[in-house]
Structure 1
Amino acid sequence: MDTGRAGREAVQAGQSTAESVKESRVYRIAVKVGLVAYGIVHLLIGWLAIRLALGESGADASNSGALRELAKNPGGVVLLWIIGIGLLTLVLWQLVAIFVGYREFKPAKRNRKRASAALRAVLFGYLGVAAIRTALGPDQGDGEDAQESLSATLMSVPAGRILVGLIGL
């Protein structure tokens, strides 16, 4: 068997597996949970940005700041695990889209959409891992305290409070 044929068969097997995953009820529910998790993270960021704009110091209106804020609340660690797992299911969602999605488009547009799905998979993966790491507890090697957060930087510029408030809204 030549390697070209073996490669095509491997791609077809991957596409077949992706199609069966795509049709799964569990998969569809997991994607919905993941989308809700992604929304929660962004609502928390907006809420923290509004608090910053209103003058509260110490709030960090970033992804990691939102996750740390959530961890402080009762049940927050459990919610972080759900968010982390939900976001990682969104990685699977995007991988399925890469393998079997966008067939209705012409090749150039299909490739752009698949590249976009790959970038989203990286974003969801990053956020999912960050949520799980936050749920596991503080990492002493982070050095995040030494870094100035984006929200703190924005607050230091003229009209920074207004800008942070607009971002939050």
Structure 2
Amino acid sequence: MTANVAGTGSGGLGRQTAGHPWFHRLSRVGLAARGLLYLLVGWLAVRVGMGEGGGREADRGGALQEIAGRPGGAVVLWLLVIGLAGLALWGFSEARYGQPVPDGRKARKRLAAFGRGVVYTVACAGTLAFVLSSKSSSSDQESKSFTARAMSEPGGRWLVLAVGIGVIAWGAHQVWHGASRDFRQELKTFGMDQRVQRTVEALGVVGHIARGVVAMSAGVFLAYAAITFDPGKAKGLDGTLRELAATPAGPWLLIAVALGLVIFGVYSLCESRWRKVEAVRS
């Protein structure tokens, strides 16, 4: 009797929720929302590289402003809020029950899923705040503000350095994830024909590598800010992308990486169709 009651308690209810088809659909809506954001951020970055930025920053805030200025933008913004909430819940469910991939119940996989849940919770909250106020802070301002606040606390400099190193490590993992095609285990490749599978894999390789390069660059700026004890050195997504244009390769490197982010956006849309989102069975 006790076992049956426990099975229908919060743990059993949580697993039932994570395994419900509507929860799967919500996760897929979230992947599509992520794809839309990357498409817009990449497109804005391409325009910056071509000298046609139009005042928009190449980050989530700039993407939200772009959507808000279009017909039906309010509806799309609310769908983004719902989708990002779905991604956050999906991340936390995989942290609780494991990912539907080999070794998906190992601690490192669950920790990665939990981190994803936290990131998308923050993104969802920021998007909701924009919808309610029509104001969005710059990613550069947010990064500098976080760095300054952290460095004002005892040991905060080392915390910022640790976060920077962590972002670099995550970016390096994304590059490896793409170059090794390890992401294929996350997809329902059995549901694709050969041509579609080759196309999706190519998108995944390029998209993950571009995403990783941007993350590693942002992590370097954050770590450098900690080492030099200068919060002004920290960069958000927009600032990181613009710094690529200051390299010897000029704006062409920015445009190349920006196109990679666009490609990751397309890959995310493919994930909304073929990603494994079902909860691990007990």
Q: TM-score range by the shorter chain?
A: 0.7 to 0.9
Match 2:122 to one of 119, 126, 139: 126
Gaps of 5+ in 2: 142-234, 260-282
Instruction: Please give the alpha-carbon distance, in whole angstroms, between the structure 2 residues aligned to 1:48 and 1:85.
Output: 23
CA RMSD of aligned residues (A): 3.0
Match of 1:137 in 2: 133
The one of 152, 162, 165 aligned to 2:252: 162
Task: Give how far 1:152 is off.
Answer: 4.2
Per the alignment, do residues 104 and 128 of structure 1 end up closer, same or farther by CA in structure 2, a change over 3 Å counting? closer
- Displacement of 1:157 in angstroms is 4.9
Deviations 1:37-87 (A, max 9, x none): 011001111111111111113231111111122111111121011001111
- 1:68 equivalent among 50, 65, 69: 65
Tell me, in whole angstroms, the C-alpha distance in 2 between the residues paired with 1:65 and 1:160: 22
TM-score (structure 1 length as normaliser): 0.78
* Pairs within 5 Å for 1:143-158: 144=138, 147=141, 149-150=238-239, 151-158=241-248
Residues 81, 103 of structure 1: CA spacing in aligned structure 2 closer, same or farther, 3 A cutoff? closer
TM-score normalized with structure 2 length: 0.49
Change in Cα spacing, 1:42 to 1:94, as seen in structure 2 (3 Å) is same
Is 69-78 or 96-105 further displaced after alignment? 96-105
Contact 2:67 2:73 in 1 (8 A): yes
Q: How does 1:4-153 map to 2 (within 5 A)?
A: 13-57=9-53, 58-102=55-99, 110-139=106-135, 142=137, 144=138, 147=141, 149-150=238-239, 151-153=241-243
Runs of 5+ unmatched residues, structure 1:
1-8
8 Å contact 1:18–1:100 — kept in the other structure?
Answer: no
SS of equivalent to 1:55 = coil
Offset at residue 155 of structure 1 (A): 4.1
Q: Quickly say closer, same or farther: Cα 1:146–1:87, change in 2 above 3 A.
A: closer
Instruction: Measure the CA separation in 2 of the matches of 1:154 and 1:161.
Output: 7
CA shift for structure 1 position 153: 4.3
**In the superposition, relative to structure 1, how do residues 75 and 98 fare at CA in structure 2: closer, same or farther (>3 Å)?**
same
Secondary structure at the residue paired with 2:106?
helix
Distance in 2, Cα, partners of 1:38 & 1:145? 17
**What is the DSSP-based 3-state SS (H/G/I as helix, E as strand, rest coil) of the residue aligned with 1:28?**
helix
- Determine the C-alpha separation between the residues in 2 that align with 1:18 and 1:84: 22
Give me the identity figure in percent: 31
Count of aligned residue pairs for this structure pair: 158
Equivalent position of 1:4 in the other structure: none
